[in-house]
Amino acid sequence: MDVGTLVSRAARRFRDRIAVDGPQGTQTFGELGDRVHRLARGLLVMGLRPGDRVLDLQPNQNTYLETDLALTIAGLVRVALNYRLHPDDWTRIAEDSGAVGIIRDERYEVKLDLPYEVVVGGNYEHLIGSASGLLPPPGDLVSLNYTSGTTGRPKGVRRTHQNRYASLVNMTFDVLGGPPSAEDVYLHAGPVTHTSGLFVLPFLTAGASQMIMPKFDAEAVIEAVNDKGVTHTAMVPTMVSRLLSTGESLQPLRMLAYAGAPMPPEQIRRAMEQLTPNLTQYYGLVEAIPPVTVLDAADHRAGGDLLTSAGRPALGVELRIVDADGRDVPEGEIGEVITRGEHVMGGYWGPAGDVHKVVRDGWLYTGDLGRIERDRLWLV
């Protein structure tokens, strides 16, 4: 199963439904599928070849979803650049990844001398309009996702199609609790470059709409939920705190997911009382695509010490707690969290680090400390 097949299926089955509602307008599934495949072909006609690394520098907007999908379908390796980073960081990531092309919004100027450049607001629409030809089968590598290592230098994590498909399955069944309905609407309240982007495929394949906010705004979130039909969203705890400060309710939400940092139990209880009782937490790493573990709505409602837990392992995820010598520790004792499964990265890119130091016999040594009790993970 590849992303191109999923996009084509959604475009065919849900052609006239609204797929995306964002700063650049609305698109049906048919329009989105057509533009994504045209863009994929256009990138190859330019001269890019499968396996080439392409930088993607955009804010939250419709075209980010298009480029994310098109790069994958074309067999190109997407290297997302966070627009909040310093331009020097963009340069370091470009050099480390060996990127030969960039897709950027016209609002961002970059000092990179690359053979291929596509500008949203410039030649982007012309490229889509003039594209033709066949698409090659995708390769194994789908993206390079950069994280800071212990040295502080960006470290490129190789994510594969297997990783992305594992995330699609687990975001759908563990985080969402099952496929969205056609009436559901997901709100990208945070950067699509982060874990909010992992909800793109679950909603796309289900024929459900997605709404994109240019930037987080608590009042706009409240309006989107209470007046525009948003049913699902995800954010970091600081964003939840800003919603709580408004005093408003978000009772129509079927899911409010949070990740990126622990949420204090008192804040969780306030969120369940004021915002919505349907809270879900998920945990993951750049090296292990989320979700690794999930604390679902039922565990949130059970309360007690479960509110300090990161939850149960997702489908197909193996977890162990080991000591400094890699031996399992007794249940309830603290050690290093290690994990194995199709969610674990394909390795590091280039000279970023010796992957054998962190992945041994298929087990990723996360560097996080934790304990396991009652089939749930507690991080320390």
Sign of CA dihedral 230, 178, 18, 124: positive
Instruction: Give me the pLDDT at residue 316, please.
Output: 94
- Which carries the bigger pLDDT value, residue 81 or residue 130? 81
Neighbours of 121 (CB within 10 A): 11
Per-domain residue ranges of the chain: 3-139
Q: Say what the pLDDT of residue 1 is.
A: 64
DSSP letters along 293-321, please? EEE-HHHHHH-GGGGG--BEEPTT-EEEE
The two structure tokens encoding residue 236:
């970091």
pLDDT digits (tens, 9 = 90+) for 52-79: 999 999 999 999 999 999 999 999 999 9
Please tell me the class of the 3-139 domain: alpha beta
What average pLDDT score do residues 130-155 get? 77
- Measured CA to CA in angstroms, residue 367 lies from 223, 315, 318, 378 at distances of 40, 22, 16, 14
**Beta-strand relationship, 77-80 and 101-105:** unpaired
Report the first-to-last Cα separation within the chain, whole angstroms.
37
Q: Is the pLDDT of residue 181 over 90?
A: yes
Question: What's the rounded Cα separation, in Å, for the pair 343 and 43?
Answer: 28
Residue 134's pLDDT band (cuts 50, 70, 90): low
Rounded to an integer, the average pLDDT of 20-38 is: 97
Q: Any idea what DSSP says for residue 111?
A: -
**Can you tell me the mean pLDDT for 252-275?**
97
Least confident of 81-90, 148-157, 182-191, 278-287: 148-157
Angle at 305 between CA 299 and CA 309, to 5 degrees: 65
What mean pLDDT is reported for the chain?
Answer: 94
Does position 353 have pLDDT exceeding 70, yes or no?
A: no
Q: Please state the rounded mean pLDDT for residues 183-212.
A: 96
Res 212: pLDDT:
98
**Residue 280 forms beta bridges with which residues?**
257
**Distance in angstroms (rounded) separating the CA atoms of residues 112 and 357:** 33
User: Per-residue pLDDT for 352 more than 60?
Assistant: no
Structure tokens at 238: 């600081």
Res. 211: pLDDT tops 70: yes
Residues facing 154 on adjacent strands: 148
Strands 141-148 and 101-105: unpaired
Say whether 214 sits in a helix, a strand or coil.
Answer: coil
Nearest in space to 251 (alpha carbons), one of 228, 281, 231, 280: 231
Confidence of residue 152 (pLDDT cuts 50, 70, 90): low
Q: What pLDDT is stored for residue 153 in this prediction? A: 75
Give me the count of residues in the chain: 380
pLDDT at 58: 97
Decide: 340 and 362 in contact? Cβ < 8 Å.
yes
Which pLDDT belongs to residue 135?
A: 77
Q: Torsion over CA of 356, 361, 362 and 365, rounded to 10 degrees?
A: -60
Give CA–CA dist 219/225, Å, rounded: 10
Phi and psi for 147 in degrees, rounded to 5?
-135, 160
* pLDDT higher than threshold 60 for residue 243: yes
From CA 348, how far away is CA 354, in angstroms rounded?
8
How many percent of the chain have pLDDT more than 90? Answer: 89
Q: Confirm if 43 and 71 have CB atoms less than 8 A apart.
A: yes
Q: How far apart are CA 9 and CA 4, in angstroms?
A: 9
pLDDT band at 324 (very low <50, low <70, confident <90, very high): very high
- Asked if residue 285 has pLDDT above 60, the reply is yes
Location of structure tokens 């003039």? 130
Note if the bond before 291 is cis, omega within 30 degrees.
Answer: yes
Average pLDDT score over residue span 324-341: 97
Q: What's residue 354's pLDDT?
A: 64
The per-residue DSSP string of 9-32 comes to HHHHHSTTSEEEEETTEEEEHHHH
For residue 108, is pLDDT > 90? yes
Give the CA angle between residues 285, 290, 294 to the nearest 5°: 110
Decide: helix, strand or coil at residue 363: strand
